[in-house]
Structure 1
Amino acid sequence: MTEPIRDVAHVSAVELFTPVLAESTAFFADVLALEEVYRHGDSVYLHTWDDYESFTVKLTARDKAGIGRTWLRARSPEALARRVTAIEAAGLGEGWNSDEPGYGEVFQFHDPDGHPFGIYWDTKRYEPSDATRPALKNQASRFPGRGANIRRLDHVNYLAAQVDAAEGFLADVIGARPSEQIVNDDGSKQGVWYTVCDKSYDLVYTRDWTGTAGRLHHIAFAADTREDILRAADVCLEAGVHIETGPHKHAIQQTFFLYVWEPGGNRIELCNAGARLLLAPDHQMITWTQAERAKGQAWGLKTIESFHTHGTPPI
């Protein structure tokens, strides 16, 4: 048996496309309490208050909503080299790029479903201004004390035409660990949850009911407590943000959640940061059956229909 090597440290940032850049920027800055750190071309970069890196979200103007590139930080230069070798061997590589503010050399690639990724080692750390300097030196920036007070990026849930192909990509190319899965009665995979660290999940792929490749289900951000998620619902209500469903509790991964749509149309999940940790190095994949999944949430209202049908870009 070959010992697994965990070469990816964490999911560091994600790019979202939006047809209403100003409105989406205001949502992330005013409602979620991210800090705008810089602009480059037709993109706005924003930072969650406890992210050690210089940006967490990149918003890029496009005619339709959707997901752009997801960035992964390698654990070392040697880890980066190993992942690049695996990516190229899988035929998914696109080449090196150094145009992204905040990063050094980034190796760009895509998953089997067409979602773009980048992996890197060299990074520019966040430097607080006088206005955002924290009282505690072990914190990236000052606690914002406004809006939803989002602490960090938590995970990304992609829609995929072929979940099985995505699963092979996660395990063999990225080197992620399996956490939980939904297996249909016919043996096909409805969804898979994988982790690159000790959190219970970082990268999720669920089947796109339209059979379309390259779409997004949601990206998720973590606040500190369940009370923060409840307050976020009030914040979103006052701001006129579309609340799709929640707050409720998922059975899968036990996440306490609120789903909203940002102005561009992308689904955003807000969840509590106290996620389950997978400390067992030999964790066994948890399997949920089609019947168990049909029961819905652990508690709360029945899952709304749009949760299964809405994705970006829209079909």
Structure 2
Amino acid sequence: MSIFKEPILDVAQLAHLEILSPKPEESVEFFTRFLGMNVTAKSGQSVYLKAYEDTYHNTLKITESKEAGLGHAAWRTISPQALERRVESVKATGLGRGWIDGDIGHGPAYQFTTPDGHPMELLFDVEYYKSKEGEQTKLLNRSTKRPERGVPVRRLDHINLMASNTSKNMKFMADALGFRVREQIVDNGTTIASWMSVSNLVHEIAFMPEPNQIPGKLHHLCYWYGIPQNLYDIADLLKDNDVFIEVPPNKHGISQAFCMYVYEPGGNRVELFGDAGYLILDPTWETVTWEMKDVPGNGDTWIGTAFPDSWWNQGTPVTVPEVAKSK
């Protein structure tokens, strides 16, 4: 009989993301006009937004910056006690940065980085969104009614990060925070990409290799629709408005999710999920391992077009050796 390792269940979910944009007004317009998200607050150089089924005050913060990229990813714990336990665990790795008093939409948060330098924070206290006049819905289990513009996304789903050393970052997320490796790609015995979660989802975070071993990059953030037809609807809308679509509606083999990839005006890649693939309900789920040689045409795209070189090689901030996206 194999020895079962007791899981760490202290981290509950991805609470919100901050992205950096050199064109903040255009970035906000993209998420509101086309993806139907609502602006919930503005402060300084930042704008806060939520999707209509997000329950928290905000799940996306867009901050003006010289370059596109990741501002930070925030993880909510299951309790104040769980927060303290994970903070102590992160401190022991030497990657902790310290506490902040909070931000719009949440209370005190502990800031840290991955081994690759991706900024992150842990928190527990959150503010729930209270619908304003005209936003109320008759659905008591939804925070606001469905927006009447664009093709509205429903909730934040996950983040994908590029890393100079995937295995090192994967091990940190597993050992310090309790993430479980759901699927992975190996090449010559080394893990080069991984999909990890703390819930029943296939992933709330993924790591893939940065081809030039440049650390700390964002590959994409993802919002969820739940219905594959919505991908064709949003693709139609975006193409008619000259928004660059890197990968048209498609289906991944890894995760089995219906997906598409576009670029918001600030330069960050955004994935849109037509559904989130399969759910993992098995408590002793064994990591699904793909050999790199089997991934093209099977793992990346199961049904749909081949992924371009830019998808494999480009993240934000953009650096000289990367493959430039072509329009």
| TM-score relative to the length of structure 2 | 0.94
Of 200, 203, 211, the residue aligned with 2:202 is 200
Q: Secondary structure at the match of 1:169?
A: helix
Counterpart in 2 of 1:181? Answer: 184
Q: Distance in 2 between matches of 1:107 and 1:287?
A: 33
Letter of the aligned partner of 2:126 in structure 1? T
Alignment of 1:233-244 (within 5 A): 233-244=235-246
Kept in 1, the 8 Å contact 2:167–2:192? The answer is no
Of 93, 97, 101, the residue aligned with 2:100 is 97
**Does residue 151 of structure 1 match 2:154?**
yes
**1:306, distance to aligned residue in structure 2 (A):** 1.1
Counterpart in 2 of 1:224? Answer: 226
**1:274, distance to aligned residue in structure 2 (A):** 4.3
Alignment of 1:221-300 (within 5 A): 221-295=223-297, 296-300=300-304
Kept in 1, the 8 Å contact 2:255–2:276? The answer is no
Kept in 2, the 8 Å contact 1:244–1:261? The answer is yes
Deviations 1:243-295 (A, max 9, x none): 11121111111111110000011000001244311100000000010111133
Counterpart in 2 of 1:311? Answer: 315
Counterpart in 2 of 1:52? Answer: 55
Q: Secondary structure at the match of 1:9?
A: strand
Q: Secondary structure at the match of 2:255?
A: helix
Q: Secondary structure at the match of 1:237?
A: helix
Which piece of structure 1 moves more, 239-248 or 205-214? 239-248
Counterpart in 2 of 1:133? Answer: 136
Q: Distance in 2 between matches of 1:7 and 1:314?
A: 34
Of 210, 213, 216, the residue aligned with 1:214 is 216
Q: Distance in 1 between matches of 2:243 and 2:12?
A: 33
Q: Distance in 2 between matches of 1:88 and 1:99?
A: 19
Q: Secondary structure at the match of 1:72?
A: strand
Alignment of 1:79-90 (within 5 A): 79-90=82-93
Q: How many residues align?
A: 314
Letter of the aligned partner of 2:179 in structure 1? A
Q: Distance in 1 between matches of 2:5 and 2:282?
A: 18
Deviations 1:111-166 (A, max 9, x none): 10000111111111101001211111110111113212100111100000000111
Q: Distance in 2 between matches of 1:196 and 1:246?
A: 29
Q: Distance in 1 between matches of 2:77 and 2:246?
A: 35
Counterpart in 1 of 2:66? Answer: 63
Q: Distance in 2 between matches of 1:95 and 1:54?
A: 24
**1:224, distance to aligned residue in structure 2 (A):** 2.3
**1:229, distance to aligned residue in structure 2 (A):** 1.1
Of 8, 17, 20, the residue aligned with 1:17 is 20
Q: Distance in 1 between matches of 2:276 and 2:159?
A: 17
% identical aligned pairs:
35
Counterpart in 1 of 2:78? Answer: 75
Q: Structure 2, unaligned stretches of length 5 or more? A: 320-327
**1:239, distance to aligned residue in structure 2 (A):** 2.4
Give every structure 1 segment of 4 or more consecutive aligned residues whose post-TM-superposition deviation is greater than 3 Å.
Answer: none
Kept in 1, the 8 Å contact 2:36–2:150? The answer is yes
Q: Structure 1, unaligned stretches of length 5 or more? A: none
Q: Secondary structure at the match of 2:175?
A: helix
Kept in 1, the 8 Å contact 2:245–2:262? The answer is yes
Kept in 1, the 8 Å contact 2:252–2:303? The answer is yes
Q: Distance in 2 between matches of 1:2 and 1:77?
A: 24
Kept in 1, the 8 Å contact 2:230–2:274? The answer is yes
What is the root-mean-square deviation of aligned Cα atoms in Å? 1.1
Q: Distance in 2 between matches of 1:204 and 1:172?
A: 16
Letter of the aligned partner of 1:76 in structure 2? S
